[in-house]
A = this chain, B = another copy of it.
């Protein structure tokens, strides 16, 4: 790492820092230029702990790390394909679809059938909903999970649902095939640590104002805890423009693909916030190398208990599946 020395630092402050480095047996070399002084500090791979200390010294303006902090992810390694029963990464993008919320068994069944027919590889349905207001629909809870399991089995699809509480880990391990961690919980480390001990695939959404580095570091909690079956999911970031509350961050997707070998999918529904834009954003995501999409589908969006505005009707979802298949094939390395 590089320690940049504060321009106004006194000699005694700089000496104090040097003494610390020497006392800690940390080797370093001075880098000096026309108007700066910096130190290149040699740290072994697990040297993060010292950073908190060093930056507190008066002589230090800032510390610039050179190592990547997510040690268990490397773009140099072979990309991990998404490995779910019934899905073949060599041939098609991974498609998760279903309603935002599970509202009833018949509602879920009706939607499950159409997404299966159109080619989805997994069925999503929310049972525990993280709602901004306590006065809106909070989901069916445990009952919803049982409906999801039942209907998923009927249509023979793996199922996906979002977990909010460490106390539900056992329930999800038993009944849910892919466990989703939502944007609001991306830095809920208590939950991440618990999930790192399961052997279920985890879909880790990026927080709407989290950097790519923070996202990969949250994934690192899962990997470090022992679960390397992680799928990253970009779902739109917060913007300064209230007319587009979220902006799909394809730059982030492209960057992440140079930094991690974990698979990355996109949630165009939350990124769009409007059904009219979902298919275009899906196409754009696949064109930028996303390995799949998670799409909200509802047979009657007007009566959906949540996210109706951004839910696709079955016919539009069918078109979406064909459209991304087309771009996926063009985009694959031969």
Q: Could you list which residues of chain A lie within 8 angstroms of chain B, going by C-beta atoms?
A: 1-2, 4, 7-8, 20, 29, 31, 33-36, 38, 40, 42-46, 48-49, 52-53, 55-57, 60, 64, 66-69, 71, 74-76, 130-137, 164-167, 184-185, 187-190, 207-209, 211-214, 217, 220-221, 224-225, 236-244, 246-252, 254-255, 258, 271-272, 275-277, 280-281, 283-285, 287-289, 301-309, 311, 323, 326-327, 330-331
Do A48 and B243 touch (CB < 8 A)?
A: no
Give the distance to chain B from A321, nearest Cβ to Cβ, in Å: 15
Once bound together, how far apart are the Cα atoms of A214 and B71, in whole Å?
A: 34
Once bound together, how far apart are the Cα atoms of A248 and B284, in whole Å?
A: 11
Do A187 and B132 touch (CB < 8 A)?
A: yes
How many copies of the shown chain assemble into the complex?
A: 4
Once bound together, how far apart are the Cα atoms of A288 and B217, in whole Å?
A: 31
Once bound together, how far apart are the Cα atoms of A45 and B49, in whole Å?
A: 35
Do B304 and A56 touch (CB < 8 A)?
A: yes
Contact A20 to B302, CB < 8 A, known contacts A69-B135, A209-B238, A308-B52? yes
Chain B contacts of A187 at CB under 8 A?
130, 132, 184-185
Contact A237 to B247, CB < 8 A, known contacts A56-B302, A287-B287, A287-B327? yes
Contact A31 to B280, CB < 8 A, known contacts A53-B304, A188-B188, A248-B251? no
Contact A135 to B34, CB < 8 A, known contacts A56-B304, A212-B244? no
Do A241 and B254 touch (CB < 8 A)?
A: no
Chain B contacts of A276 at CB under 8 A?
254, 258
Chain B contacts of A190 at CB under 8 A?
164-165, 167
Chain B contacts of A326 at CB under 8 A?
330
- Lowest 9 A-B CB distances belong to which pairs? A56-B308, A209-B209, A284-B284, A283-B287, A242-B242, A165-B190, A184-B187, A244-B251, A211-B241
